[in-house]
A and B are shown apart, each in its own frame.
Chain A
Amino acid sequence: MVAPAAASGLRDGLIAVVKRECPTCRLIVSVLGELRANGAPVAIFTQDDPEFPPGLSPIDDSALDASWSLGIETVPTLLRVEGQRVVARAEGWQRDAWERLSGVTGLGAGLPAHRPGCGSRTLEPALRDVLATRAVAAGDTELRARPITLGELEDPIEAAFARGWSDGLPVVPPTPARVLRMLEGSTRAPAEVVATVPPDYAECTVEKIAINAVMAGCLPEYLPVVIAAVEAACTDAFNIHGVLATTYFVGPMIVVNGPIAGAIGLNSGVNALGQGSRANATIGRALQLVIRNVGGGRPGEVDRATFGQPGKYTFCFAEDEAGSPWEPLSVERGVARGASAVTVFAAEGPRAVVDQRSRTAESLAGSYAACLRTVAHPKLVGGCDVVIVVSPEHGRVFRAAEWSKARLRDELVRRTTLPGAEIVQGAGDIAEGMPETFATGTWPKFAPENLLFVHAGGTAGMFSALIGGWIGRGGSRPVTWEVKS
């Protein structure tokens, strides 16, 4: 929620804000007269007709400066000012509240006890944008980010490129109005510090995340997911600094679970890992823009990736929980069922598992294991996480066989446990491989906790996807973080 900065320099007494267009405001004109007649010092601001209410010397607020500063959302609003600060307010007509605020009893005899008001003109969408811009220029908001004033002839999208704010694609210009609208997507205060973002170790506020979410193209309702992703990525366990700095391919991938995924239209179905969904595309991008702009993590500087991968622009999708043979990823990782959560994962690009023949879980697990062996290198074992995205047509096979995730995980660990003679350096005439100490015995390529399963994808296609993690031996672990409103 965003409120304007506390209006200062107010005179002690009462303030009423009204507009003639509002029937409740017209109804309580007599009450305003009674307050004046009882000697209550009441200043009346009028939002539309400067002559309304007639005979009560209203103050013209058709420019809405006072209404904006006072944070008026409803007319009529009655405010009590003490010590130059608003100490109480009543929205709409409520006899008991108005009497309490004014200290005058018997107000509005003959009127109903309550009557709701109308929307303040400050909330009209077009006006709100103008007011937000004006307020930021005047320093009259809770927003603390530095305003950048562009030149008369400067194109705002080109200006964002020129200042280095972009990931290479155009960004939505982060105007004050857009940022204020974005902040309405979260109940958290704009100034709340959410995380410390490497490599600059800069404090990141909700406001800074909102600015970058605007640039990424997010809708306000996506903001809680972006905030959770930033919180998760900036934990010691995930280690975004290492993920950023490594020469390896990885970038942060976000898997979303829980009711928020459907509510904001995240895709978990056809083309779940691809393009075309605004929520998928912009949430992943917003996280990367926060790392770039707040953290200062830029390719060629701290980001030393040899190749990177296309998912470093954006990589976010939801789990198809309803169609899954298993409990959701977030539930398996300790989040209550029904709560929303993100899991961040240091991801390389997806690789295909094609298996159109297996009708038994054993056979399909064999295909998974054969493909899993190639992650990083067929002769390297240990320390690498993998997300296995199981499609509906493959999920059906495991459901029919009543294989739990734990069963599948154990089978895959067993089937990717390799003889040392095959993986030692030089074996198969390949220099790459494990050191001489691995030459005898057998060695698991994965520990059980290295294998994560997510159910997603279109209903046609007997494919799954493997998404390899960072080979940094525990340099980054997947982190699951609850989404708060």
Chain B
Amino acid sequence: MTERILLDPTNERAPARRNRAARPVSLDGKVIGLLDISKPRGDVFLGRLAEVLEARGHRVVRFRKPTYTKPAPPEVRRAVRDGCDVVVEGLAD
């Protein structure tokens, strides 16, 4: 049986297409998380980005997934969620 189409069980007052979280208007005063997924040279890219951001006076926090082959473990997800306001992730090498 195909399960690609589901019928909406709600009162349909919210749009079917969910909106992304609102983007901040400015990075002023925001803690910026940099998530390294352990792809080769991702740390180089994010390291340079950290230098640039810190030179502009932003606070930067670094996070790292143990391996890019698997989803982030819960403790990393929690640390990202609780530890910063915005996050930049280096996705590919």
Contacts and interface: CB of A to CB of B under 8 A. Distances in A.
Q: Do A and B come from one complex?
A: yes
Contacts of A4: none
Given A129-B1, A146-B16, A163-B18, A294 B10 contact: yes
B11 A174 contact: no
22 contacts: A129-B2, A130-B2, A136-B5, A136-B7, A137-B5, A145-B7, A146-B7, A146-B16, A148-B6, A148-B8, A148-B16, A150-B3, A150-B4, A156-B6, A159-B6, A174-B6, A175-B7, A176-B5, A207-B7, A208-B11, A211-B9, A294-B10
Given A133-B4, A145-B12, A173-B6, 20 more contacts: A133-B2, A136-B7, A145-B7, A145-B9, A147-B6, A147-B8, A150-B4, A150-B5, A150-B6, A165-B9, A175-B3, A175-B6, A175-B7, A176-B5, A200-B11, A208-B11, A211-B8, A289-B9, A293-B10, A293-B11
A211 B5 CA distance: 13
B13 interface: yes
Nearest to B8: A146
Interface string B1-39: 111111111111100101000000000000000000000
Contact of A148 (B5, B11, B13): B5
Contacts of B13: 200, 202, 296
Nearest to B11: A202
Contacts of A129: 1-2
A136 B8 CA distance: 12
A485 B12 CA distance: 27
B77 to A, nearest CB: 15
A165 B2 contact: no
Contact of A208 (B2, B4, B9): B9
Given A146-B16, A148-B16, A163-B18, A294 B11 contact: yes
**Lowest 4 CB-CB distances: which A-B pairs, in order?**
A202-B11, A146-B8, A145-B7, A156-B3
Contacts of A202: 11, 13
B9 A293 contact: yes
A149 interface: yes
Interface range on chain B (Cβ under 8 Å from partner): 10 to 19
Contacts of A197: 11
Contacts of A149: 4-5
A383 B6 CA distance: 44
Given A146-B16, A148-B16, A163-B18, A175 B9 contact: no
A177 interface: yes
Contact of B7 (A176, A200, A296): A176
A330 interface: no
A215 interface: yes
B74 to A, nearest CB: 16
A159 B4 CA distance: 10
Contacts of A294: 9-11
Given A146-B16, A148-B16, A163-B18, A174 B1 contact: no
Contacts of A177: 1
Contacts of A74: none
A145 B7 CA distance: 6
A383 to B, nearest CB: 33
Contacts of B6: 147-148, 150, 156, 159-160, 173-175
Interface string A195-221: 001001011000110011001000000
Nearest to A136: B5
A330 B1 CA distance: 41
